[in-house]
Structure 1
Amino acid sequence: MVTMNLGMLHYVLDHVYGAFVHRTKISPPFFSKGWGGSKLDLLERLIKQLFPEFEGQNWPPTLIQPVWRTIWETKTACLKEGVFRTPCDEQLLSALPPESHIARVAFLMPKFVSPQKMACVVHLAGTGDHSFERRLRLGGPLLKENISTMVLESPFYGQRRPMLQYGAKLLCVSDLLLLGRATIEETRSLLHWLDSQQGFGKLGVCGLSMGGVHAAMVGSLHPTPVATFPFLSPHSAVVAFCEGILQYGTAWEALKRDLAMEQSELTLEEVRERMRTVLSLTDVTRFPIPKNPQAVILVAATDDGYIPKHSVLELQKAWPGSEVRWVTGGHVSSFLLHNGEFRKAIVDGLNRLPWKESPL
C-alpha cells in the first residue's frame, strides 16, 4: 500500500507540474500559430525519407568543422564550447528560422587520455532544456570512466530560439518536425566528426523525453553500432501530445481554426486525428533496428504522467535485444532524482560495444 501511495504521489506530481506549466495562461500553448502550412507539407516529405527504405542515404554526412573556445580546464578535464553551421540541406535550411542556422555544442572531456581509449556520448535536449548545464551535470561524473560528454543545443532552443517563440512552446506543428529532423542531421554529423576526425573508440547518443526520441532515431540510422539511450521517452510524439499531459498544453482550438480554413465544420476529434497522423512520422518503431540492439538501454519511470508504460514497451518490442530498466517515480521526479541510474545505463550500454580497431 505504501508503494502504491508513493507511485500515486509521483503521478500526481506530474499532473500538478503539468497543470502549472501547461494549463495556466503564464505562457501560450504549443502550436498557437497552427500547423505551419507549406512548411508542414515539406517536413512530412523530408521525414518520410528517414524510414527504412531510405536507410543509409546521405552518409557520410556533411563534415563539420566546429570552432572551439575553452570555458574552463583543470588538471584532469576540459570544457569547450563550439559553434558550426548546421549541416542541413538547403530545403531544411530555408525552413529553419535564421536564429537556428548556427549550432552550438559543449564538449566535456578528460585530459591526457587518448580518444581511442575513450567513449563519447552526445546528449540531446528534452522539452524545455535550453541550456547545457543539466546535461553536463549528468555527464560530468562519467569522466572518471573515460567517457566524454558532448551536449547539443537544439534548434528552436537556447540561443537558437526564434524571436517570437516563448520558451519551449513551439509556434507551429511543423516546428516540432523541423526541430527533430535538424537535430538528427546535426547529431549524425557530430558522431561522424567524433569518429573520423577525433578517433573515439566508442560512441553513444542519449536524451531525455523528446531528446530520447531523437536519440533513438539517430541510433537507428547510424551505419555502425552506437550505444543508444532513450530516457523517460515515448516511442512517438503522438503519445506525448495526444495521450500524455502535453495534450493539455496544446492549442487545439487554434489548430482547429487553421484546418477549418481548408475544410468546413471540423470537429475537435478530427483535429486530434490529424495530429496523430502527422506525428506518426515520429514513430521510432518504424525506423530500422539499430546495428547492435543489445547496446540500447531504455530507462523508464513506473508512474510517468507524460509517458505511459505501453509506449516504452512498444519500442522494446520493435527492437529485440534492447533492454528496459524501470525506476520508481514519475516524469518530473525521475528527471530530478535518478541521474545515477541514467549514468549506469550509459556505462553498461557502452560496455556492450567493442572498441574500434586502431588504424595500423
Structure 2
Amino acid sequence: GDPDPVAIAWHGAQRTGPLLVRDGWFESPAPQPEASKRAALRLITPAGGGDRTCLLMAAWNDHTYATRTRLARALAARGIGSVVLHQPFYGPRRPDPAHGQPIRTVSDFMVMGRAALDEGRSLLRTLGDEGHRVGVSGYSMGGNMAALIAATVPFPVATAPLAASHSPAPVYLDGVLRHGIAWEALGGEEAAAGRLRRIMLTASVLRLPPPPHAAAAVIVAARSDGYVPREASDDLHRHWPGSVLRRVPGGHATLLWFHTETLATAVADAFLRTFG
C-alpha cells in the first residue's frame, strides 16, 4: 500500500563549500524499542538546489553519517541531494548504548529490517509530497533495503542497489558471514540453517512483483565479493527485467572505498533512466 508521510523537524542549515547540510528527526512509524523510535537523519544537497533527492540506507554496522557522506558528496557534484538515515538500532538509536553490537538476535535483525523498510518508504513519500524526484540506494545491507523499499512503493523511484543481495539469506548463509553466526545458540548449525534461511527469505525482493520503475534500476556488484554471492545480484537483476547490472573489479570493501565515483554514476544513471 501507499506509505504515510512523516513530519520531519529540521534544524539549522549549514553551508560547507558546495554543500548545504541540514539535520533533522522524526518519530518513526515502525514498531521497535522505545530508545530507537526517534529517527535521526541528515539532508545533504548541492548549494545550488535541485529536485532530485536520493535516500541512502545504511550498511551493516554503519553507525554514523561519514561513509554515506562520501557518496552524498559525489552525488551533489552530479546535482543530486541525499538523505542519510540513521538505521534503527544504530548510532544514536541504539537501544543499549553500553553494548557493542546492538543486533544480537535474529529477532532484533528482523525488527531492524522491518523498521528501516517502513521508515524508508515513508521518507520517500514525504520527499515526493514536497516536490522531490526521489531515489533510493545503499551499500550491501543498505542495497538490499533499497531494493525492498523500491519494490514496495506505488510511485516511481530511481533505484540503485549497490553490492546488494535480493535478501539477507545468501549473505548470511552462503557467504563468509556464515562463520559469524552463533549456531549453538540457535540449536546447532544443521538444525538451524534451514529455519534461518526460511525466516530471512521472507525479506526477499524475489517474493515481490517488480514495480514498473524496477526496469530502470541500475545494480552494481563487485566481481570478487566474498560477502554477497554472485548469484544473489544475478537473481535480483533477472527478477527486474530491463534493469542494468554493472560488475566492477574488486571485492566487497574495495568497491565501497575506491569506486565512489562509479557508485555515484550508477545512482545518477538510475535517475536518468527513471525520470529522464
Name the counterpart of 1:187.
Answer: 120
Give the Cα–Cα distance (whole angstroms) in 1 for the partners of residues 48 and 248 of structure 2.
35
* Relative contact order, higher structure (CA 8 A, sep 6+): 1
Alpha-carbon distance between aligned partners in 2 of 1:323 and 1:251, rounded to the nearest angstrom: 36
Q: Distance in 1 between matches of 2:210 and 2:113?
A: 19
User: Is residue 131 of structure 2 the alignment partner of residue 199 of structure 1?
Assistant: yes
2:106 is the counterpart of 1:173 = yes
Partner of 2:249: 328
Instruction: Render the CA deviation track for 1:171-206: whole Å, top value 9, x for unaligned.
Output: 11011111111111111111111111x211x21000
Q: 2:26 aligns with which of 84, 98, 108?
A: 84
The structural deviation recorded for 1:161 is 1.2
Q: Is the 8 A contact 1:100 1:162 kept in 2?
A: yes
Shift of 1:75: 6.7
Correspondence for 2:181: 250
Matching residue within 70, 73, 81 for 1:137: 70
Matched residue, 1:22: none
How far does residue 109 in structure 1 lie from its aligned partner after superposition? 1.2
* 1:299 and 2:230 aligned: no
Structure with larger Rg: 1
State which of 190, 199, 207 in structure 2 corresponds to 1:278.
Answer: 199
In 2, Cα distance between the equivalents of 1:75 and 1:164? 33
Structure 2 unaligned regions, length at least 5: none
Letter of the 2:177 counterpart: L
Identity %: 34
Structure 1 position 288, deviation (Å): 2.0
**2:6 counterpart residue number:** 64
Give the aligned CA root-mean-square deviation in angstroms.
1.7
Q: Against the structure 1 CA distance between its residues 169 and 247, is the aligned structure 2 distance closer, same or farther, given a 3 Å change threshold?
A: farther
Counterpart contact for 1:226–1:295, Cα < 8 Å:
no
Query: Does residue 173 of structure 2 align to residue 237 of structure 1?
Result: no
SS of the residue aligned with 1:145?
coil
Q: How far, CA to CA, are the matches of 1:81 and 1:330 in structure 2?
A: 33
Give 3-state SS (helix, strand or coil) of 1:180's partner: helix
User: Is residue 89 of structure 2 the alignment partner of residue 147 of structure 1?
Assistant: no
Name the count of aligned residue pairs. 276
One-letter amino acid of the counterpart of residue 334, structure 1: L
Is contact 2:177–2:227 with CA below 8 Å preserved after alignment?
A: yes
State whether structure 2 residue 190 is matched by structure 1 residue 269.
yes
Q: Give how far 1:148 is off.
A: 0.3
TM-score (ref. length: structure 2): 0.95
Q: C-alpha displacement at 1:144, in angstroms? A: 2.9
**1:350 counterpart residue number:** 271
More strand by share: 2
